[in-house]
Amino acid sequence: MELNFTTFTNIIDGKPTTTAETRYSINPSTKAPNPPVPVSTKQDLDDAVNAARRALKGWAATPWDERRDALLSFVKAVVGRKEEFAGMLVREQGKPYMFALLEVAGVERQIQGLATLKLEDEVVADEGGRKVVKRYVPLGVGGAIVPWNFPVMLMMLKISHAVLTGNTVVCKPSPFTPYTGLKLVELAQQFFPPGVVNVLSGDDNLGPWMTAHPGIDKISFTGSSVTGRKVMESCSRTLKRVTLELGGKDPAIILPDVDVPLVAAQIAFYSFFNSGQICMATKRIYVHSSIAKEFVSALVAAAKNFKVGDGMGEGVFMGPVNNGMQYEKVMGFMDDVKKTGGEVVLGGDPARFRYKAEEKGGQSGYFIDPTIVFNPSEESRIMKEEPFGPIVPVVKWDDEEDVIRRANDTDMGLGASVWGKDVERAESIARRLEAGSVWLNEHIFGVATAPFGGWKGSGVGVENGREGLVGWCNVQSLYIKGEVKSVL
């Protein structure tokens, strides 16, 4: 099938469909408009849900291995066109081309990992002429709601969970990054029967319509904690199953024995990669006071080399933030630092960024230089909230109990890391951190066989791992007795 990256449609029941109304998003590096995309109506959603419902019986009855093989062939086709997907990803998301390529190509490792897992019937008791079998039955029609920071990876993971487990799905990309999501599902039609994987692009109405829709059995949502609460509230009315992958405020605890330049360079990477727009970026840095000065200098030295610019530019490490709303949000954090204190040791001049964005008649992108704030107030927004942009605080610690308490003193609990040569000490700290993923001497890395999810306000349920697949199933205990015996 031809796949072009110039026209974009919904895909319902295996067919491209258009809408009367269209909209577009912009390239955040240039503010130039990207092509038109559909604005779906309630009727489009009904059509997609009905198609998914019709496809369900056949897909759920398709053997697991066949579903897995279809998925792996689909993934191969996506990765086979990685340059085209990556080019579109740069134009809609803003990230540098090399990282866009990495996101598209990285889908293969993740999904191959997930595809090694299988939920099979399990005999959990066999006695007294009675066998009890634990079964995993597909939930039905899923709704996949995706944010704008990793639109390819996150949509592919949601589709993978759904189709592996025998569910059908209606996908909704973010209105800021609808393009790659629409094309992924267009390509998926070559590998799945009509109606198994559908996609709708829309405006801000579409998400709430999906969470309220009585024909959708589960919502798999990735996005902010604020929206996640609304999603759960809406889903509660129809008792939909939910998986919520939400925001993070990941701490990194640096022990006194680290190789300072090496670790500072790593932390700079994990703070500013994707311009800080990663749920599990390092968002609070706790460095031991005995090395604080040296560490901050090394962090600044590493981060100031990060080239900021158009994702298609040579050697660019950081693209713009994705959209105007996000830009203003990050600026709000900068303004708050000015009010509440802390030493801005790199970047951080809001007036300069505003000027940059407005020069050339507003045609320049949403660029923000990497910004590091040393010793902000513990009560400041930069210590408490998720900026989701390239600004990170560094604070000092002396006492181990105290730093563990401070690291856990947040309503988020997505990830955390501990850095030190004394691995035993680092691990003993790591085991006391309240987060879904905790790393020693690295951050962010993930394997699809390990569950990924947030504690506290960072989420409900998990994606990946066996538990991620179980989240797409009803569990059934099947009691098999060969003959009827009197109970008296």
Identify which of residues 264 and 368 has a Cβ nearer to ligand NAD in the complex: 368
The catalytic residue among 92, 103, 186, 245 is 245
Which string of x and - marks every residue 93-132 that binds ligand NAD (by CB under 6 A)?
----------------------------------------
Q: In angstroms, give the least distance from the CB of 438 to ligand NAD.
A: 15
Identify which of residues 374 and 452 has a Cβ nearer to ligand NAD in the complex: 452
Q: Distance between CA 259 and CA 247 in Å, rounded?
A: 30
Asked if 245 is an active-site residue, the reply is yes
Under 8 Å between Cβ of 151 and 95: no
The pair of three-digit structure tokens given for residue 162, joined into one six-digit string? 């759904």
Q: Distance between CA 160 and CA 252 in Å, rounded?
A: 31
Using the rule CB under 6 A, which residue among 138, 178, 195, 223 binds ligand NAD?
223
- Residue 148 binds ligand NAD, judged by CB under 6 A: yes
User: Which distant-in-sequence residues (6+ apart) come within 8 Å of 424 by Cβ?
Assistant: none
Q: Tell me the HSE value of 444 on the side-chain side, using a 13 A CA sphere.
A: 17
Total residues at interface with ligand NAD (CB under 6 A): 27
Which string of x and - marks every residue 162-201 that binds ligand NAD (by CB under 6 A)?
----------x-xx--------------------------
Cβ atoms < 10 Å from Cβ of 70: 20
Residue listed under structure tokens 């949502």: 221
Q: Distance between CA 137 and CA 119 in Å, rounded?
A: 9
Where does this chain touch ligand NAD (CB under 6 A) — which range of 67-75, 102-110, 146-154, 480-488?
146-154
The pair of three-digit structure tokens given for residue 264, joined into one six-digit string? 């500072």
Residue type, 391: I
Where does this chain touch ligand NAD (CB under 6 A) — which range of 32-40, 206-214, 282-290, 373-381?
206-214
Q: Tell me the HSE value of 236 on the side-chain side, using a 13 A CA sphere.
A: 6
Q: In angstroms, give the least distance from the CB of 277 to ligand NAD.
A: 7
- Closest residue by Cα to residue 320 from 444, 103, 149: 149
Residue type, 13: D
Q: In angstroms, give the least distance from the CB of 356 to ligand NAD.
A: 22
First to last CA, the chain: 66
Q: In angstroms, give the least distance from the CB of 323 to ligand NAD.
A: 8
Q: In angstroms, give the least distance from the CB of 247 to ligand NAD.
A: 3
Active-site annotation, residues: 245
Q: Which residues bind ligand NAD (CB under 6 A)?
A: 145-149, 172, 174-175, 207-208, 211, 222-224, 227, 230-231, 245-248, 279, 386, 388, 414, 454, 459
